[in-house]
Structures are given as C-alpha cells and as structure tokens.
Structure 1
Amino acid sequence: MSIATKVLDLLTGDEPNQPRLTWYGPDDERVELSGRVLANWVTKATNLLVEEGEVEPGSRVLLDVPVHWRALVWAMATWCAGGELVLPAEEDEVLDDDDVDDEPGYTDLDEEETGDLDDDESVFVPDETAEEPDIAVTARPSGAPAAGLVLVVALPALAMHVEDPIPAGAVDAAAALMTYGDHLGFVQEPGGDDAALSGPEISGSSGGPVPYGELADWCREQTPACHRDEEHPRVLCAPRDHVEMLAHAVAAWRAGGSLVLLGEDVDSSRFDAIQAAERAAVRC
C-alpha cells in the first residue's frame, strides 16, 4: 500500500468529519474540507487519472498548479495511482544566460523570437530533448504545458468548471471530476523503487527521483523538527514552494492531524490572526 492510500485510510478512519485541510486564498477565500470530503476529492481525481489518463507506475504527472488545496488533491491522487509527480520550477527561479543551454526545456532564442525581452530574462520554451509528461494538471488554460493529456483545473473556491476556454483536446478536469466514482477503482500499486517525486533540486538517496520506498521518510525530513513527532497536530503552513506544501500536509495527516494552508496571496500580516482563529498550535 502506497503512502497516499495509507493517508486516505487515515483520513476516513477515526473522526472522518473533522477538518483535515483548511485553505485560505485571495479575497478572504476560505475552504474547509473534512477527512471524508478530502478523501472523496482525492478518490475521484485518482479514478480520473487512471481511467482517462491510464496513469500507473512509471507515468509522469506534471503538477502545474500553484500552492493551493486543489494542488494537494491532484498530488495525492497521482500517488494513489502510483504515478510519478513532477514539480515544475518555481516562478522566481531565473536562470542566468550561461545556464540556459544546460537546462532541459530552456533554449536560446534569436532576436526575432525574443522581441523586447531584457538581457537578464530567460525564456521557457518546448524543447524536443526534454521528456514530455504523460499528464499535465494545469491551472493555466491559455499557457498549458505540452503533455499526452492536459487536465485543466479551476482555482476559484469550489468552482465546478473552468471559466476560460481550454485548449483543443484538453479536459475540463473541474467538471469531469464530478462524473467519477466515490470509491477507489483498480490501481496498480507502485513498487518501492518506482519513482514517486521529481523536479528541480529534488532527489532521493540515489540522486534520482524520490522512489516510493523513500517517500515517507523524505517528506518527514522536509518538515521542521517542531512537528515531526507531534500527535494530531493542527499545522498552519505558508509554504514557500510545492515541496513544503506536500511535506507539511503528509506529515500532518500521517500524524492524524490537519493542515491550515495559506495561499501565496495571503498577506503575512494576517498570519497571527488566522493562527488564532484556527487554533493552530504549530506554525511553519
């Protein structure tokens, strides 16, 4: 049983109606999901990935979604399906000109192609030498990454469909999700050596992607020592990136706790008030 399916069992085990994920976003947006509801979202997303995208061990799923409660749903679904979750470079990671040629997916462009770009800007463009993911889960319908299957998700509150036009051949995952079963269908369990997580500066003990056999320990190592061994923690988290988001969520849920996740648009001046309102004993 993979770490994600173990977490699903924990979410629906003791006190399944207790909050497990609380999300704060822009414009005072707040979404609270109980363990039962969160597990239901993950289950539906897993079934979609397996039935629509044929995700199994070895399949690569790009998570092109910002720090958000929906990003956690699709990350957990990828792991439940046994796929490899691929994290993109963070937006503030800018390559120097001298590094562009050495980075997969980046390439030099001549003056006609770059137009008015400044000298210190680098451009991400499709590169035939870069491995294309099997699935791309994206919140950017107008700039969706290339993939075998593109799933477009909606970010506003509990939106049930994508408002903007989506690319030809892509799937409105917000709408499609509701048509999938509430019970987990057949999934091929990954082996301990199968890749679970990859991305910039992410590596397991072998230097490659983090395998399923190391994923639980890897997540624990990414979390601050202050709540690695807490029981039933309620953790307030304003992650700097997807790695922190995933590690804090997995650590909290495996310990029978819950996560209060603050989006990138939540001003730091609100953190103390939110922590008090949510009664979060641990802050990371």
Structure 2
Amino acid sequence: MTSISSVAELLESFRAASSRPKLIWYGEANERIELSGRVLDNWVAKTSNLLVEELDAGDSTVVAMNLPPHWKSLVWALACWQVGARSAITEPSAEADIRLSMEADVARNDIADNGVLVFIAPGALDVRWPGELPAGSVDYAASVRSYGDVYLEEPALPDSVLATDGVRSLTFEDLASAPLAAEDQIASKEPENDDGVWLIPAALPLHTVLAAVVRIWAGGGAVVLVHPSVEVTDRLLAGERVTARLAA
C-alpha cells in the first residue's frame, strides 16, 4: 500500500525524483517525449497557474476532458486535481465550466454556452494551435509557457473528489488503490509495489489510463504511454526497460 495519499504528495514525489523519468510518450511521426519528475511537475504547475489565473478554476470547477490518452492529457488531469477542479473524464456532453479538446471540429460543435473552450495542440513543439480559434477560446500551447513554474496556492484536500467517470465520484485514494484489472494486465515481469516501468497503450480509455498512472506513480513507478500508431517492438521494450504492460 502506497504512503502517498494526495495529489500534493504525488507531485512532491515527482520533485524528489528530479531527473528520473516518470512519463515517456511515444507519438505519431516518431515523436518521443521524456518527462522527468521535475519537468512533469513543472508542466503541471504551469497548467495549474493557467487554470487559476486565466480560467478562474477552483474547487467547484468542472473540466470536461474530451481528450485521448496523451502526455498533455495527463498533465491537465494532474493540474485540475491540484487546483481542486473536478475532471469529467467519460462525460463529453456533461455541463462543464471548462472544456478541453485536441480536435477542432469536435470542439467547435461544443461552443455555445457550454463553458470556456481550451484547444490543446498535441505536438510537443507546437507553440500555438495550428488554425483559427473561435472567439473566447484559449490556445493552451500559446499561453501555458508564460505561467509560473511553481504552484503557490493551497493544494486540494486529500479527500477531494478528483474525477467523475459517468458512474462514480473518485478521490485520490480511489484512483491510487484501484486494482490493475486482470483483463487489462499482461505482466512481462511483475514489478513490486507498482514501482517498475509500465507500458500503457493510448488505445485504452482515458479513465483507465488515469487510474493506472496514478497507482503506478504513487507506487514509485514510471509510465511509457504509446500512441496506437506506434509499433511496440522488443527494441522499444528493452530500451525503456519496461517491466509490465497493460493490454489494449
């Protein structure tokens, strides 16, 4: 059982890990992004500050995460949880104060009176959304780098509801203690206390990925998240020292 019991403690563990990789993303067009604990915390802090300072997010804010599993989706989830906002992860039509999207067509159909729309360009090197933005929307890539590297506000309470999945309201404890279900797990080597390097296919639903990464990170492990277009080869598994994987 992990001793980490809150998002604040999880992010502190990232800072303590410093240069150790905590999240590696394999995307389209041979994109590989490696985020150390400190760099991941930095992205979360910047996004948290954007949420609070630009989007007025707080403990009553609902954020509709109409996103695929992606390294930026994980950053956004952690940032929402840090500021106390609740992420709706399987309810794209739910009423929300803020709506996130990586797809222009989907997002544009969701504009009218349904909260502030945030466009998230998926490329790691994207400095702005590659297209015209609707009036009143926010370009995440163009905005986030201007925000502070440290989040100084009070963190959310440990027992705060972090997410809803259409059925349940989930706290940090719910996510961190959720079993990695047998039908989802293929262990090449069984890591102790989830502290290995876990490969997670991005073909899985976002709520499955979020629950898995929280448990893995809380146990001291690292995550390799792989886009569906990327072939998982023996070379990739060996190069990233993968010890376990979840089945798509």
Q: TM-score, length-normalised on structure 2?
A: 0.84
State the identity %: 31
1:49 to 39, 48, 51: 51
Contact 2:194 2:215 in 1 (8 A): no
Contact 1:142 1:167 in 2 (8 A): no
What do residues 127-186 of structure 1 show as CA deviations (whole Å, max 9, x unaligned)? xxxx52011121123331343211111102332211121111001111100111011032
What do residues 174-226 of structure 1 show as CA deviations (whole Å, max 9, x unaligned)? 1100111011032462462x4321133x41xxxxx22x3xx323343242476
Q: How many residues were matched structurally?
A: 232
Are residue 272 (structure 1) and residue 234 (structure 2) matched? yes
> In structure 2, how many angstroms separate the alpha carbons of the residues matched to 1:228 and 1:5?
25
User: Who is 1:120 aligned against?
Assistant: none
What is the letter of the counterpart of residue 223 of structure 1? L
What is the letter of the counterpart of residue 19 of structure 2? N
User: Who is 2:198 aligned against?
Assistant: 235
Are residue 223 (structure 1) and residue 180 (structure 2) matched? yes
Matches within 5 A, 1:1-284: 3-13=6-16, 15-88=17-90, 105=93, 131-144=94-107, 145-146=110-111, 147-187=114-154, 189-190=156-157, 192=159, 194-200=160-166, 202-203=167-168, 209-210=169-170, 212=171, 215-224=172-181, 229-230=192-193, 232-239=195-202, 240-267=204-231, 270-284=232-246
What do residues 3-22 of structure 1 show as CA deviations (whole Å, max 9, x unaligned)? 22211100001x31011100
3-state SS of paired residue (2:118): strand
Unaligned runs of 5+ in 2: none
Residues 2 and 133 of structure 1, relative CA distance in 2, 3 Å threshold: farther
What do residues 20-55 of structure 1 show as CA deviations (whole Å, max 9, x unaligned)? 100011122111111111100000001111111221
> In structure 1, how many angstroms separate the alpha carbons of the residues matched to 2:66 and 2:5?
23
3-state SS of paired residue (1:27): coil
Contact 1:141 1:167 in 2 (8 A): no
Q: CA deviation at 1:2?
A: 7.1
What do residues 206-265 of structure 1 show as CA deviations (whole Å, max 9, x unaligned)? xxx22x3xx323343242476685253111111511122112211221122210011232
